[in-house]
Amino acid sequence: MKKLQLASGAIIVVFAAVICIAASKLSFGTPRNPGPGFLPLAYGTALFFLALLFVLKTALQRQKEKAEESPWRGLPWKQVSYTLAVLLGYALLLTRLGYLVCTWMLMAFLFWGEGTKRRSYAVIASLAVSVATYLIFKGILKVRLPSGVLGF
């Protein structure tokens, strides 16, 4: 496991260095008047030092040797397959039923599947989330959403 962590950290260090090199070809500007290379260089530098810190910490850390356990063991595969099926249904029915109806059904499934025992909570919370996101996307952000059977 330590070898994989070191390898992933090294890849991120190289990736951050590439970002910094590419950003250095752009004009930086000043903090008051930033140029197009200012933020990429700042983010690339921060990523570089954080990844370097991770690599050094991992390299210097003593690790107890234990049998590696698969990260896939113990996953609720039934829930995962149900969720994927519902998301596929959401994508297929979105234009026919509309944003509000499809999002309400999706959120109800997700709230109920999360372990909520009361159906009323799942129904009310999913209705609130779907209406709130509809108002944000349609009213404030002016995003065109599928109207479907409700017509709005």
State whether 132 and 89 are in the same domain.
Answer: yes
Q: Per the domain annotation, does 123 fall within a domain? A: yes
State whether 84 and 117 are in the same domain.
Answer: yes
- Specify whether the CB–CB gap between 131 and 108 falls below 8 A: no
Q: Is the pLDDT assigned to residue 71 strictly greater than 90?
A: no
Structure-model confidence comparison of residues 148 and 50, the more confident one: 50
CB burial of 45-83 (b: ≥16 within 10 Å; e: otherwise) equals eebbeebbebbeebeeeeeeeeeeeeeeeeeeeeeeeee
Q: How many structural domains comprise the chain?
A: 2
**What is the residue range of 117's domain?**
77-140
Residue at 136: amino acid letter? I
What average pLDDT does this structure show over 33-38? 90
Q: Is the pLDDT assigned to residue 68 strictly greater than 90?
A: no
What does the mean pLDDT of the chain come to? Answer: 88
State whether 51 and 87 are in the same domain.
Answer: no
State whether 53 and 83 are in the same domain.
Answer: no
Q: Per the domain annotation, does 68 fall within a domain? A: no
Tens of pLDDT, residue by residue over 88-126, are: 999 999 999 999 999 999 999 988 876 667 888 888 999
Q: What are phi and psi of 29, to 5 degrees?
A: 75, -155
pTM for this model (two decimals): 0.55
State whether 54 and 18 are in the same domain.
Answer: yes
State whether 82 and 135 are in the same domain.
Answer: yes
For residue 136, give Cα distances in angstroms to 1, 96, 125, 143, 151.
Answer: 44, 21, 16, 9, 18
State whether 49 and 7 are in the same domain.
Answer: yes
Domain boundary residue, one of 18, 35, 60: 60
Q: Is the pLDDT assigned to residue 24 strictly greater than 70?
A: yes
